[in-house]
Amino acid sequence: MTGTQLPAARRLIVNADDLGQSASVNRGVFEAVDRGIVTSASLMVRWPAADDAVKGVRRRPAMSLGLHVDLVEWAVRDGAWTELYQVVDPSDEGEVADELGRQIDTFVRLVGRTPTHLDSHQHVHREDPVRTLMLRAANRLRVPLRDESDAVRHCGSFYGQYGAGKPYPEGISVSSLLEVLDGLGVGTTELGCHPGRGTFDDLETMYASERDTERATLCDPRVRLGLVERQIELCSFGDIT
């Protein structure tokens, strides 16, 4: 067969974590959907802003919505990692199983359907017993679990801190994001992000001003042009699940 060979397809899901954790996070995520390249989000169902987040998703039917399983959060305080809260002990298999079931049930009640994908706050599912339990849930729901799917690889390079919460604004600049796009492999990649908009006085977090920077980068016209120039197709988990 002769002729020009078409380039291998590269598809990108841009998934915003922490949707529903606060109004400021919700604002940033939805702006990054409406004006930027975000196509998907992961919902934290335990927080008061989750209801408004679901209402916002319903007005944006092209978005996919997964469950951001929320068990614990850590932050750096006075140079040391400190636990901000714990829902259940991540090392207790029975407690994790019960809480995972509760959060899936809450998601279905709020959203009216099952999640399109699963992941976890601060990646606690990368360790057992959370990993095994979430793998079972993902298999039962027939959806991808972050880091564990053959269909979608995860990229966490777009992040504005390193080490023990040290600022790294270069990591969430337009030029940095374009470099990430240059390195995407063939197939489908999920790019994680954490956009927000506001003063973040409604959220106790070590990742605050970075959310505004992420939102601005994700909405920058140069990024969308970069996708076109690199022949990268935006999609959502709903397109592959």
Domain residue ranges in the chain: 10-240
Task: Return the minimum-mean-pLDDT range out of 39-43, 171-175, 203-207.
Answer: 203-207
Q: What is the dihedral of CA 100, 104, 106, 108, to 10 degrees?
A: -170
The mean pLDDT value of the chain amounts to 94
**Which among 37, 2, 1 has a CA at the least distance from the CA of 16?**
37
Is the pLDDT confidence value at 6 over 80?
no
pLDDT, position 140: 98
Active-site residue (options: 17, 18, 70, 119): 17
pLDDT tens-digit readout, 178-193: 999 999 999 999 999 9
CA contacts within 13 A on the Cβ side of 42: 26
Assess whether pLDDT exceeds 80 at residue 7. no
> 10 Å Cβ neighbour count for 61?
7
Give me the sign of the Cα torsion angle 167, 122, 18, 184.
positive
Q: Is 207 exposed, middle or buried (0-12, 13-18, 19+ CB in 10 A)?
A: middle
pLDDT band (50, 70, 90) for residue 135: very high
- Concatenating the DSSP letter of every residue in 110-125 gives HHSS--S-EEEGGGGG
Spatial neighbors of 64 by CB under 8 A, at least 6 apart, are: 13, 39, 40, 41, 116, 117, 236, 237, 238, 239, 241
Residue 127: CB atoms within 10 Å: 11
Torsion angle, CA of 23/25/30/35, rounded to 10 degrees? 130
Token duo for residue 38:
């975000």
Mean pLDDT, to the nearest integer, of 163-167? Answer: 84
Residue from 41, 14, 46 nearest 26 by CA: 41
Confidence of residue 199 (pLDDT cuts 50, 70, 90): confident
Query: Is 70 considered catalytic here?
Result: no
Q: What is the residue whose two structure tokens read 């469950």?
A: 67
Is the pLDDT confidence value at 8 over 80? no
Peptide bond into 129 cis (omega under 30): yes
- The average pLDDT across 18-45 equals 98
Question: Which run of H or E residues covers position 41?
Answer: strand 40-43
Pick the CATH number of 10-240 from 3.40.50.11810, 3.20.20.70, 3.20.20.370, 1.20.1250.20: 3.20.20.370
Average pLDDT over residues 132-156: 97
Strands 118-120 and 166-167: unpaired
74-121 pLDDT, tens per residue?
988 877 889 999 999 999 999 999 999 999 999 999 999 999 999 999
pLDDT score at 3 = 47
Q: What is the pLDDT of residue 165?
A: 81
Q: Evaluate whether 16 touches 158 at the Cβ level (below 8 Å).
A: no
CA angle 205, 76, 90 (to 5 degrees): 80
